[in-house]
Copies of this chain bind each other. A is one copy, B any other.
């Protein structure tokens, strides 16, 4: 508990600095947008950028200012209706699929709302002796905004990729384009782990979510896990061998999905004159064979592993391997801060379990032993989603680095692809 050695002024200063930094980062990410880009919602799972910007603000207003700053006057009582995401405890809200039809409040008004809340948050952070609960809430709000920074980028990618003009969000990265100069990708090897009992879950005093809390013991049979992610070249071999046409590699609902949705390649891939291209935040580019495969569903990750004669790791195997192989986040890990916003080839021989792409695991998203939902609206943060989703680990190229931990549990449905998702193989030691 190093924070106990700090005096309260330092904590407050640190929290208010963190707050400012995060809030500025969200707005910096929106710099390249046109006003029109802030508004639309081409699929129900996508939120309009201006909604993301306002929702994280609403979170600070609702859970902190309205409850803990007595002098605070709500910016606009109607905004709660627009910017509540899924908190049933907090009353009616816009039906999710309609967010993209709301032209007002305008983007300008949303920025004004942010400034208003920021002003009072700084007043709150600077004026008072914060209680532990209040500090926890501010920290939660900060990590919540980080989650929405990632969503903002993945949603924006979906919005722009959906446009036949394929507009770029970032200027093209010239290095990326020289695909002739193949990187040296180490060959695919596996590290063995012996069977045994392991401690799983977060232990410590720093910020963490309730879903990873609860250190508990898990017995693992001997397994081995890949030292790197599967590359586009490797995935294209699966495609070339008819992976999308052969039911034998697919789970039953996966095969229905492939047929009903006519899936033939990862999301954002387009075959142009016999060459696979993919939409990236730098625009449409040739697929880099050395970069990790991404924008694939659990179904595709599982089918690839079956085709390769392996399987995905469980989230427990993944966590044990991560903690052992990467006690610290490697300096070359590809996160939002590295500004590429696309997965990068893993040229280092040293394994890296962080960033680049979220790694699908073969574990269902379920509560850990002893898991307890928090009381009230914050109890809806994680617990109510613990069904029919699979766990992903490690973070991606659009996750803020400071947001991630070895115990961090992300979760998506088995058919979802708009996050930066990828594959790390594993198998049992027989």
Chain A residues at the B interface, C-beta cutoff of 8 Å: 34-42, 50, 78, 81-82, 86, 88-89, 94, 98, 100-107, 159-160, 162-165, 167, 195, 197, 216-219, 221, 247-248, 250-255, 298, 302, 311, 362-364, 366-367, 369-370, 380, 384-388, 414, 428, 430
* Residue pair B428, A414 in contact (C-beta under 8 Å): no
In the bound assembly, the distance between CA atoms of A337 and B301 in angstroms comes to 44
Q: A217-B219, A251-B385, A364-B364 are in contact. Are A37 and B103 (CB under 8 A)?
A: yes
Residues from chain B with a CB closer than 8 A to the CB of A363 are 366
* Residue pair B384, A251 in contact (C-beta under 8 Å): yes
In the bound assembly, the distance between CA atoms of A346 and B16 in angstroms comes to 60
Residues from chain B with a CB closer than 8 A to the CB of A38 are 36
Closest to A103 in B: B36
Q: A34-B106, A103-B159 are in contact. Are A253 and B387 (CB under 8 A)?
A: yes
Q: A163-B103, A364-B364, A364-B366 are in contact. Are A253 and B78 (CB under 8 A)?
A: no
Q: A78-B164, A88-B247, A164-B82 are in contact. Are A101 and B40 (CB under 8 A)?
A: yes
Copy number of this protein in the oligomer? 4
In the bound assembly, the distance between CA atoms of A366 and B362 in angstroms comes to 8
In the bound assembly, the distance between CA atoms of A221 and B253 in angstroms comes to 33
State which of B89, B197, B252, B386 has its C-beta within 8 Å of the C-beta of A385: B252
Residues from chain B with a CB closer than 8 A to the CB of A36 are 35-36, 38-39, 50, 103-104, 106-107
Residues from chain B with a CB closer than 8 A to the CB of A366 are 362-364
Q: A40-B39, A221-B217, A428-B369 are in contact. Are A104 and B388 (CB under 8 A)?
A: no
In the bound assembly, the distance between CA atoms of A302 and B367 in angstroms comes to 12
* Residue pair A103, B40 in contact (C-beta under 8 Å): yes
Residues from chain B with a CB closer than 8 A to the CB of A298 are 387
User: What's the nearest-Cβ distance from chain B to residue A108, in Å?
Assistant: 8
Closest to A41 in B: B101
What are the nearest 9 A-B pairs in CB distance? A364-B364, A42-B101, A36-B103, A219-B219, A88-B247, A35-B35, A252-B384, A37-B103, A221-B369
* Residue pair A40, B100 in contact (C-beta under 8 Å): yes
User: What's the nearest-Cβ distance from chain B to residue A252, in Å?
Assistant: 4
User: What's the nearest-Cβ distance from chain B to residue A85, in Å?
Assistant: 11
